[in-house]
Structure 1
Amino acid sequence: VITNAGGAGVLAADACAEAGLTLNPPSPELADDLLAALPAGASAGNPVDATAAVTEDALHTCLERLAGHPAVDAVLVALVPTAVAAATGDDLVRAVTRGPGRRAKPVMVVRLEQDLPVTLLPVADGEAIPSYAEPQAAARALAHAARRAAWLARPVGTVPDPDDIDTSRAQALADDFLAQRPDGGWLDPRACAELLSCYGIPQQPWAWAEAEDDAVRAAERLRGTDGRVVLKAHWPGLVHKSLQHAVHLDLRDEAQVRTAFQDLRARFEGLMTGVVVQPLAPRGTELFAGVVQDGVFGPLVVFGLGGTATEVLADHAARLAPLTGQDVHDLITAPRCAPLLFGTQGGGPVDLEGLEQVLHKLSRMAMDLPQLAEADFNPVLATPGEVTVLDARIRLLPRRPQDPYLRRLR
């Protein structure tokens, strides 16, 4: 930041700091070069206070030295009208516009007396330099430009092509469902499980039961090493099973399974179409992975903290499908819960490779099936040994494929 008035420089520096920009002081060598061109009383910190006595030539010299220095990424020039400049005829704005419009580093101007929020100052080479009425607006614009430059500089990454995917079977499943339900809707647990299996997405073992005896037999077959199972009620449109008390956990024997089934059937009579029986899952980190459709950008893959509080905490990140390896890395590290995945309080990291595979395959599903309106995998249980989807909800709607060329332009 360089200014002809100390107060304006402080305002501009504060605005830059609030926008997340870093203001490092000039190196001793650069500071000496600046002071050599400036009038007595100037200071070469950050902001550089050129004082009200600065001339057009001196300001132009300092601007060129700042813009050309390798340690400087951008220059913000904060100017206020002064009696000294009016008396000498110096035009400090011309000190900025005398140079080329396209410099190696971006240059912005703040003129506190300016009427319009932002204008363009014409430069001799036909380019223009933006001029803002408020330092906050200039700092925000510069911060956006810095973030975009950092984004453009990042490696693009590649989209993997998993070999354990049955796209034709998945498309046939979607077509059959929409042939029976032209307006679309939510898949039942059996269809959800089949669609996940088309993409090799690991699932907790499960069985569907519509009768009490079927639930008992399924529980006997699926009991884990500790002998405990879970019963989850289902009916079309069911959301938030736990909040509706539609889940029974930690069932250890036949009597408890029968009691749980009878309770669910009694409380949800007329609604419940059956139950899902699963072995009780081990302890782990509960995550969320899903797909939502954006009207402009198309399918977005969402990832974050799962469990019953996922909507309350809203600790999620989203990226456009198809996901590259870099996108998946960003998704995993962006949520606030990310440290849980890399080992905390003496625990080891979860199966990160398995988690990456789930996200890549979910992304592939979103790209293969334009009918995929919404997908919620919650919870996705992550442990050091594996990543498993415990529950999935998928909604299909009749849709046309998006134009991939238009999508790349966004």
Structure 2
Amino acid sequence: IPVRPALPAPHPDAAVTAAARLGYPVALKTTAPHLRHRPDLGGVRLDLADEEQLRRAYAELTHALGKPEELQPVVQAMAPRGVDTVVRAAIDPAVGAVLSFGLAGAASELLGDTGHRLVPTTDRDAAELVRSIRTAPLLFGWRGSAPVDTAALEELLLRVSRLVDDHPEVVAVSLEPVVVAQHGVSVLGASVRLAPPPPRSDLGPRRLPSY
């Protein structure tokens, strides 16, 4: 599961060096925990095409939001535009590993618009998971927009499922955001939590009986 590298930028010169290494255009982003889910504060500057734009964005960011050590800024190469999504997996004590999917953003979080499937996940499960959320039309060309690469998204879901299923010490995975473009997906942020796997007396995921 490739993750786009983000290089630390503790000062403007470091940001310029990082951009030269990654290649323009770049994004300048704050990673401080108190700003991570607050896009309204303007902690992300996109499509910076050269050193002049990057230095100007850096100055504006620190002037508006605080010192670099407080903001923990990073530089990342721009990804193709698309729909921002979130892919997660975690261990539920009752049913085992669960794969979750939803669109990124406050609206989805407030509405609880997230789908879930048990791990291991089949290709049919992955396709149903993508289509299970209420905001799924945004992925399929809602109001004339271009459909995005749901096949690549389903492949990513299967890879996360396989990762958790093959390695019980991986107790939580969070990929956020995952930008699903017209061609391919870009994982811009990832975290993995390792721990001794919880004891399980059964084999494989449990399923509720149907009546």
TM bracket (short chain): 0.7 to 0.9
Where does residue 126 of structure 2 map in the other structure?
A: 328
Q: Distance in 1 between matches of 2:93 and 2:62?
A: 38
Point out which structure has higher relative CO (alpha carbons under 8 A, 6+ apart): 2
Q: Deviations over 1:194-216 (max 9, x none)?
A: xxxxxxx2433543333421210
Stretches of structure 2 that go unaligned for 5 or more consecutive residues are none
Work out the CA distance in 1 between the residues paired with 2:195 and 2:202.
21
Deviations 1:115-140 (A, max 9, x none): xxxxxxxxxxxxxxxxxxxxxxxxxx
Match for 1:233 among 18, 22, 30?
30
CA distance in 1, matches of 2:171, 2:35: 17
Provide the residue aligned with 2:54 in structure 1: 257
Contact kept? 1:229, 1:280, Cα under 8 Å: yes
Task: Say if 1:207 and 1:278, in contact at 8 Å, map to a contact too.
Answer: yes
Question: Which residue of 275, 278, 282 maps to 2:80?
Answer: 282
Show CA shifts across 1:340-377 (max 9, x none): 32333444432222111110111122223434343332
Deviations 1:254-308 (A, max 9, x none): 2332243344497145544x43212333331222211233121122111122235
Specify whether residues 402 and 367 from structure 1 end up closer, same or farther in structure 2 by C-alpha distance, changes over 3 A only.
Answer: farther
The CA distance in 2 between the partners of 1:235 and 1:345, in whole Å, is 35
CA distance in 2, matches of 1:338, 1:303: 11
Give the distance between the partners of 2:98 and 2:34, measured in 1 at CA.
Answer: 22
Aligned-pair CA distance for 1:383: 1.8
Look at both structures and tell me which one has the larger radius of gyration over its CA atoms.
1
Secondary structure, aligned partner of 1:405: coil
Which residue does 1:386 correspond to in 2? 184
Aligned to 2:45: 248
Letter in 1 for 2:52: A
Shift in alpha-carbon separation, 1:398–1:202, aligned structure 2, 3 A: closer
Looking at structure 1, the residues matched to 138 and 165 of structure 2 have their Cα atoms a distance apart, in angstroms, of 29
Distance of 1:386 and 1:372 partners within structure 2: 25
Contact 1:373–1:396 (CA under 8 A) maintained in structure 2: yes
Residues in 1 aligned to 2:57 and 2:81: alpha-carbon distance in whole angstroms: 22
| Cα deviation digits, residues 77-96 of structure 1 (max 9, x gap) | xxxxxxxxxxxxxxxxxxxx
Q: Determine the C-alpha separation between the residues in 2 that align with 1:222 and 1:269.
A: 20
Gaps of 5+ in 1: 1-200
- State the TM-score, normalizing by the size of structure 2: 0.79
Distance 1:301 1:292 in 2: 7
Structure 2 CA distance for aligned equivalents of residues 346 and 329 of structure 1: 22
Distance 1:209 1:378, change over 3 A: same
8 Å contact kept, 2:10–2:69 = no
Q: Which residue of 2 aligns with 1:375?
A: 173
Over 3 Å counting, the alpha-carbon distance change for 1:353 and 1:400 in structure 2 is same
The answer to whether the aligner puts 1:358 opposite 2:147 as a matched pair is no
1:93-172 map, 5 Å = none
User: Counterpart of 1:64?
Assistant: none
One-letter identity of the residue aligned with 1:336: R
Match of 1:222 among 22, 27, 33: 22
Report the CA distance between 1:311 and its aligned residue.
1.2
**Cα pair 1:202 1:387 within 8 Å, conserved:** no
The 10-residue stretch of structure 1 (395-404 or 250-259) with the greater mean CA deviation from structure 2: 395-404
Q: 1:275 to 1:336 in 2, by over 3 A?
A: same
Change in Cα spacing, 1:315 to 1:308, as seen in structure 2 (3 Å) is same
TM-score (norm 1): 0.44
Pairs aligned (count): 205
CA-based RMSD: 2.9
Once residues 105 and 36 of structure 2 are traced to their aligned partners in structure 1, the CA distance between those partners, rounded to angstroms, is 13
Task: Assess, with a 3 A threshold, how the Cα gap between structure 1 residues 307 and 391 changes in structure 2: closer, same or farther.
Answer: farther
**Residue 405 (structure 1) aligned with residue 202 (structure 2):** yes
- 2:115 partner SS: strand
Higher strand share: 2
